[in-house]
Chains A and B, each alone.
Chain A
Amino acid sequence: MGTIHLFRKPQRSFFGKLLREFRLVAADRRSWKILLFGVINLICTGFLLMWCSSTNSIALTAYTYLTIFDLFSLMTCLISYWVTMRKPSPVYSFGFERLEVLAVFASTVLAQLGALFILKESAERFLEQPEIHTGRLLVGTFVALSFNLFTMLSIRNKPFAYVSEAASTSWLQEHVADLSRSLCGIIPGLSSVFLPRMNPFVLIDLAGAFALCITYMLIEINNYFAVDTASAIAIALMTFGTMYPMSVYSGKVLLQTTPPHVIGQLDKLIREAGSVHVRIRRDANEQMVLAHVTNRLYTLVSTLTVQIFKDDWIRPALLSGPVAANVLNFTDHHIIPMPLLKGADDLNPVTSTPAKPSSPPPEFSFNTPGKNVNPVILLNTQTRPYGFGLNHGHTPYSNMLNQGLGVPGIGATQGLRTGFTNIPSRYGTNNRIGQPRP
């Protein structure tokens, strides 16, 4: 085989790599448009920031941050193109699809942090209200609004479109939906525009522009400078409301939670597969079982590994390692090891079995539910004498476990579980030793 350069150290500099990847993306025609918009966005943001400092209006600043958020969303779009082109590398063995999720998360969080900053600034402004010059206020508003809307509507931003669809509704959307429901009672034709829910980005752009228009009006009429601060707070709160559900959604993906829409189906399918695992005999064809299980689950779980243990009447000593008699008749084809790093625990198949129905797969990236599912381990337990197997397997194992738990600083190993986090619910100390087997 020779030497395999599995984990070659990167030799290029950071910028060189960045440039290379950028060239890769720029080769695509679709990304040209995004780049063009990004350049326009930068120019536009520069002008807006200038106007912000000349008008001294914090509401316009809050609105400008939405434009900056647009820039981030364009970047996310580029990243999603790049992700589709990249193959999984040895180090990032799961591929780069999560980068898209991370980009969405980061940009929504950044928008919220900007809003937090606006809140802090406006709290200071309430104490000492500076004078606002309305000269460029309306111009800035309409430049930002038209640019934002133009970007939103002309670029098909796949990740954000998906997140805004899948995340729960923001309070702004809820109110608009509630209002427009009564409006559509009067004019039914509008329901296609407003219901069931509007695009949150379009909504917040419009609402922010509306708040700025009111600000302009009131300052022009009666020099109510405090309106500027109030509408800045309103825009910041709307930003929070819009971004929060999305960052929660993408954060949940990053935390490897089970997507709620999969749970029910998955439970059902696992239960069906579970019925297989009860019935098979010792001499059952494990390839048949494998096929059945895969057939049930592959619609939900894109990467699935099934390991089959065939137990004999005499239970092999699992942990001492030398013999696992009659485990697999190995001939050819694929081996897919799913390794798990040493956490505090290493569970043998006996104890891992009950974990199965209660731990559906986590979501790996958007729209690919349960990419790294925990292995479904099938035991043909019918053929095994229960009490014996349990005792035998159990006693040495718990010793092992205690050793593992005795290690200090277990919590710190969390960061090292990358790429191998395949067995759910086993982090830390909650093992399922004592649970009865099905």
Chain B
Amino acid sequence: KKKKKKRKERKFPGSKRGGLTLTKYIVLLCFTKFLKAVGLFESYDLLKAVHIVQFIFILKLGTAFFMVLFQKPFSSGKTITKHQWIKIFKHAVAGCIISLLWFFGLTLCGPLRTLLLFEHSDIVVISLLSVLFTSSGGGPAKTRGAAFFIIAVICLLLFDNDDLMAKMAEHPEGHHDSALTHMLYTAIAFLGVADHKGGVLLLVLALCCKVGFHTASRKLSIDVGGAKRLQALSHLVSVLLLCPWVIVLSVTTESKVESWFSLIMPFATVIFFVMILDFYVDSICSVKMEVSKCARYGSFPIFISALLFGNFWTHPITDQLRAMNKAAHQESTEHVLSGGVVVSAIFFILSANILSSPSKRGQKGTLIGYSPEGTPLYNFMGDAFQHSSQSIPRFIKESLKQILEESDSRQIFYFLCLNLLFTFVELFYGVLTNSLGLISDGFHMLFDCSALVMGLFAALMSRWKATRIFSYGYGRIEILSGFINGLFLIVIAFFVFMESVARLIDPPELDTHMLTPVSVGGLIVNLIGICAFSHAHSHAHGASQGSCHSSDHSHSHHMHGHSDHGHGHSHGSAGGGMNANMRGVFLHVLADTLGSIGVIVSTILIEQFGWFIADPLCSLFIAVLIFLSVVPLIKDACQVLLLRLPPEYEKELHIALEKVLYTWWRAPVVPATWEAEVTGILKDAGVNNLTIQVEKEAYFQHMSGLSTGFHDVLAMTKQMESMKYCKDGTYIM
């Protein structure tokens, strides 16, 4: 091994003196990766003839032989304790399982795709996972890399019409060589994907396992005394592990191999290229170079050579490389290059490049406050100091407790649970019976649930304490959420309207037999919701309860805003009916109910009379109804958000201001009690806290003396004066 390396060093003398050593290792790495690609293509050919367990056994045997020879794990180094032997045993088992997955994936989706999916270095996968599952991914570049990786996998899954796919999909379940492969095949068949796609998923799983395995075995390798020694021992143990299985296999099944002798050469190349050379060069390069650089220079050649071989492997050019099947020159169509694979290879190269680049951490600080000079102060400590970690069950328990504390959020939560339950039953049943209508209705229900979720969040958040930024508290979130829900309903009404207009022009034939049970189920769920919500609603109003008639309620809470002209003090005790958030949720449920009723009515009409026009007419009617019911909600929410004077207080305030003016005119020289008097008058009108600013001549003189920007202040005062026409000298801010 050492000799071989030296030969390479002589073979590729560095061109530049400065980067001599680095270039040398990079070239070595590239060459090794190229050879590894060759080895994998070779092993795919081998796996067609040899059983997978036998193949892995031979691979491990050869590797163990070489490594024991080179490393001499028994004669050198400290002795290994019994405890460590157990760990090595576990390591070997895990290694066997991973290589089993790897080579099974290879048989499923061919060497090219296997190389693309499996040959990622640990650093790439770790940074991918950290982007996906932690908040501190390391900037937009890493996110992009992760997105590229996912796109590449999706490309392989969706846009790669592998020619073998059809062939593999129809294979009978009987002919598998062993129980193990049979089990894996059935597992993939259970997932309902084609074999080659199953292979892709299997390889992604194996990749994650590999990374976890490497990370976990790092400590053990230090304990044992180096990764090489651990590797040698682990290979040896796994040979011993696999030995009985292979013996049983070779006794029970007849081999497809004619002569084992002709396979010695290909096995030797595979063992050498895939296992030994790769391992040694990787370990050398990771010592001599940075890990990120190593990963970057390693991934590029292997993907490129995989692409090249994918195109040319069965071509006569590569005859010299192939040790196997030299005679058989048939034009193979298995796992050839397709557009999807090329695209995904490009994406894999990009993502490996981005993800392996060293991340620039620590850019993000948290704002902690402002210095006396007014400059912001940031905290660049890690997030670990900021967040006390909270266990998930505890978090769920806490939030559930919060939700159940108040009636609004409790109602929304229960109804949400009911709705989700119904949705999932529907989806599950739809998948089971393979009915598209049910599944799409389930998606529609999920879409509706999003409004409920928003309502729930708003109901929760509105109880939060006021903070520095939200200095008025979070109360208005409910109004905002009601507003958004109103917009949501308008959008829904719009889409229903458009759809029904399109159907009016061209009424389609409907298949009605599945619609009725689903819509009746939806109707029941929604009726429960309406009853629950309107119960609380009518309770607050003291109106008659129990009636679930929809229009009655939508009407009544529409009216309530204007009907409550009582005295200001009494208003708080009246409860005010529903808040905007609850109104939005209620209207949403109402719209759903209307939809269900519409479906039932139109189904009946279609089935009884064959009026296909009834369906679009119904939906048209429903759309108009939804729109009309939402308008008051939107109007009220808008008024609140625009800081309109509450309509109930208009009159009282008007009278109170007149009184104030009267006191003003009655006594031009204001007595000391004037302020208290004004306060009293306004308090009667429901105004509890007021601020009075008195500006005299002196104030303007001081201002002009103090500031250069006095004109602004003057303009401000002018602006106040502009209201004079309606207020006659009294300004309401």
A residues with CB within 8 A of B: 1, 4-7, 53, 87-88, 90-94, 96, 98-99, 102, 106, 109-110, 113-114, 116-117, 120, 123-124, 127-128, 171, 174-175, 177-179, 218, 221-222, 224, 226-227, 230, 251-252, 254-258, 260, 263-265, 267-268, 271, 285-288, 290-292, 294-295, 298-299, 302-308, 321-347, 352, 358-362, 372, 374-375, 377, 407-425, 427-428, 430
Q: Name the distance in Å between B51's Cβ and chain A's nearest Cβ.
A: 37
Of B187-195, B214-222, B548-556, B687-695, the one contacting chain A is B687-695
Known: A98-B643, A110-B487. A268 touches B691 (CB 8 A): no
Q: Considering the chains assembled together, what is the distance between the CA atoms of A286 and B443 in angstroms?
A: 66
Q: Is the CB of A93 within 8 A of B642?
A: no
Question: Counting CB contacts under 8 A, is B726 at the interface?
Answer: yes
Q: Which residues 59-111 of B sit at the A interface, judged by CB distance below 8 A?
A: none
The 4 closest A-B pairs by CB, nearest first: A412-B576, A330-B670, A409-B575, A264-B370
Contact B682 A339 (CB under 8 A): yes
Give the distance to chain A from B304, nearest Cβ to Cβ, in Å: 22
Identify which of B479, B484, B691 contacts A422 (C-beta below 8 A).
B691
The answer to whether A288 and B702 have CB atoms under 8 Å apart is yes
Q: State A306–B703 Cα separation when bound (angstroms).
A: 14
Residue of B nearest to A427 (CB): B473
Q: Is residue B297 within 8 Å, beta carbon to beta carbon, of the partner chain?
A: no
* Surface stretch bound by A, among B11-19, B273-281, B311-319, B661-669: B661-669
10 more A-B residue pairs beyond the given contacts A90-B727, A336-B720, A341-B649, with a C-beta to C-beta distance below 8 A = A328-B672, A330-B670, A337-B730, A339-B653, A339-B688, A372-B733, A410-B572, A411-B475, A415-B640, A419-B644
B436 within 8 A of A: yes
Contact with A along B700-726 (1 / 0, CB 8 A): 001101110100110011001011001
CA–CA, A274 and B420, complex, Å: 54
The closest CB in chain B to the CB of A430 belongs to: B465
CB distance A407 to B572 under 8 Å? yes
Say which residue of A298, A407, A427 sits within 8 Å of B716 (CB atoms): A298
Whose C-beta in chain B lies nearest to the C-beta of A301? Answer: B716
Render B608-640 as a binary contact track against A, CB cut-off 8 A, 1 for contact. 000000000000000000000000000010111
| Complex-state Cα separation, A94 to B720, whole angstroms | 11
Give the segment of B26-34, B42-50, B135-143, B249-257 that binds chain A.
B135-143
Picked from B143, B374, B668, the residue with its CB within 8 Å of the CB of A264 is B374
Asked if A257 and B469 make an inter-chain contact with CB atoms under 8 angstroms apart, the answer reads yes
Cβ contact within 8 Å between B375 and A264? yes
Q: Are B141 and A416 in contact (CB under 8 A)?
A: no
| Cα–Cα, bound, A88→B722 (Å) | 9
Chain A residue nearest to B154 (CB atoms) is A230
Q: How far in angstroms is the closest Cβ of chain B from A370?
A: 10
Within the complex, the shortest CB–CB distance from B663 to chain A, in Å, comes to 10
* Chain A CB within 8 A of B521 CB: no
Residue pair A418, B646 in contact (C-beta under 8 Å):
yes
> Does A326 lie within 8 Å of B572, measured CB to CB?
no
Selected interface stretch from B112-120, B240-248, B587-595, B673-681: B673-681
CB of B660 within 8 A of CB of A175, answer no
Greatest chain B CB density within 10 A among A258, A412, A421 is at A412
Contact status B642-A221, CB under 8 Å: no
Q: Mark B566-608, 1 if CB is under 8 A from A, else 0.
A: 0011011111110110000000000000000000000000000
Q: Is the CB of A418 within 8 A of B640?
A: yes
- Closest chain-B Cβ to A413's Cβ sits at a distance in Å of 5
Q: B9 on the interface (CB 8 Å rule)?
A: no
Measured between C-beta atoms, what is the minimum distance from A325 to chain B in Å? 6
Task: Chain B residues near A287: list those with CB within 8 A.
Answer: 695-696, 698-699, 702
Quick check: A123 and B475 within 8 Å, CB to CB?
Answer: no
B264 contact set on A, CB distance < 8 A:
none
22 A/B residue pairs, CB under 8 Å, sorted by A: A4-B727, A4-B728, A90-B732, A106-B483, A218-B159, A252-B469, A255-B476, A264-B376, A287-B702, A290-B694, A291-B698, A307-B692, A327-B675, A334-B695, A335-B664, A337-B682, A340-B687, A342-B687, A346-B683, A359-B471, A414-B475, A424-B466
CB-defined contacts of B670 to chain A, threshold 8 Å: 328, 330-331
Chain A residues within 8 Å of B572, by CB:
342, 344, 407-410, 412-413
- Would B472 and A255 count as touching, CB distance under 8 A? yes
> B339 contacts the other chain (Cβ, under 8 Å)?
yes
- Report yes or no: A295 in contact with B703, Cβ–Cβ below 8 A: yes
Contact B676 A323 (CB under 8 A): yes
- The answer to whether the Cβ of B440 comes within 8 Å of any Cβ in the partner chain is yes
The distance from the CB of B585 to the nearest CB of chain A, in whole angstroms, is 15
Minimal beta-carbon separation of A72 from chain B (angstroms): 11
Q: Is B731 an interface residue (CB 8 A)?
A: yes
Chain A residues with Cβ under 8 A from B54's Cβ? none
Could you count the A-B residue pairs with CB atoms below 8 Å apart for me: how many are there?
390
Q: Is the CB of B709 within 8 A of A299?
A: yes
The residues of A that contact B732 with a CB separation of less than 8 Å are 90, 93, 337, 339
Give the distance in Å from the alpha carbon of A431 to the alpha carbon of B172 in the complex: 75
Q: Is the CB of B439 within 8 A of A127?
A: yes
Let me know if B457 is at the binding interface, CB within 8 A: no
Interface residue ranges of B461-509 to A (CB < 8 Å): 462, 465-466, 468-480, 483-484, 487-488, 491, 495, 502
Chain B contacts for A322, CB-based, 8 A: 673, 676
A6 touches B694 (CB 8 A): no
User: Contact between B480 and A255 (Cβ–Cβ < 8 Å)?
Assistant: yes
Contact A123-B643, Cβ < 8 Å, known A264-B370, A306-B693: no
User: Across the interface, do A295 and B471 meet the contact criterion of CB distance under 8 Å?
Assistant: no
- Select B727's contact among A6, A99, A372, beta carbons within 8 Å: A6
Decide: A338 near B733, CB < 8 A? Known: A117-B491, A264-B376. yes
Task: State A32–B475 Cα separation when bound (angstroms).
Answer: 40
Q: For B477, give the chain A residue with the smallest CB separation.
A: A255
Residues of B within 8 A of A341 (CB): 568, 646, 649, 686-688
Contact residue among A1, A177, A264 (Cβ-Cβ distance under 8 Å from B728): A1
Q: Which residues of B contact A337 (CB under 8 A)?
A: 660, 678, 682, 687, 690-692, 730-733
Min distance, Cβ A276 to any Cβ of chain B, angstroms: 12
Question: Which chain B positions have C-beta within 8 A of A124?
Answer: 439-440, 443
Structural contact, A305 and B644, CB atoms closer than 8 A: no
Contact B692 A335 (CB under 8 A): yes
B466 touches A328 (CB 8 A): no
Say whether A418 contacts B639, CB under 8 Å: yes
Question: Does the CB pair B673–A413 fall under 8 Å?
Answer: no
> Which residues on A sit within 8 Å (CB–CB) of B651?
7
Determine the chain A residues whose CB is within 8 A of the CB of B575 once the complex forms: 408-409, 412
Across the interface, do A428 and B691 meet the contact criterion of CB distance under 8 Å? Answer: no
Q: How far is the CB of B669 from chain A (nearest CB, A)?
A: 7
Min distance, Cβ A432 to any Cβ of chain B, angstroms = 11
Q: A332 to B728, alpha carbons, bound, how many Å?
A: 14
- B471–A424 CB distance below 8 A: yes
Given contacts A128-B436, A306-B693, A339-B732, contact A419 B717 (CB under 8 A): no
Confirm or deny: B158 has a beta carbon within 8 angstroms of a beta carbon on chain A: yes
Given the contacts A291-B703, A337-B660, A415-B479, A92 and B689 also touching, CB distance less than 8 Å: no
- A334: chain B residues at CB < 8 Å are 693-695, 717, 720, 731
- Which one of A90, A96, A116, A358 lies within 8 Å of B726 (CB-CB)? A90
**In the complex, A286 Cα to B648 Cα: how many Å?**
37
Complex CA–CA separation, A428 to B462 (angstroms): 10
Complexed CA–CA distance, A221 and B159 (Å): 12
- Cβ distance B295 to chain A, nearest Cβ, rounded Å: 19
Known: A224-B159, A251-B480, A425-B471. A340 touches B444 (CB 8 A): no
- Kindly list chain A residues whose C-beta atoms are within 8 Å of the C-beta of B654: 4, 6-7
Distance, CA A324 to CA B644, complexed state (A): 32
Q: A267-B370, A412-B575 are in contact. Are A427 and B475 (CB under 8 A)?
A: yes
Give Cα distance in the complex from A100 to B577, angstroms: 29
Q: Is the CB of B641 within 8 A of A98?
A: yes
Distance (Å) between the CB of B660 and the closest chain A CB?
7
What's the minimum C-beta distance from B547 to chain A, rounded to whole angstroms? 22
Kindly name the residue among B367, B478, B648, B695 whose own CB sees the greatest number of chain A CB atoms within 10 A. Answer: B695
B53 within 8 A of A: no
- Contacting pair A346 B693 (CB below 8 A): no
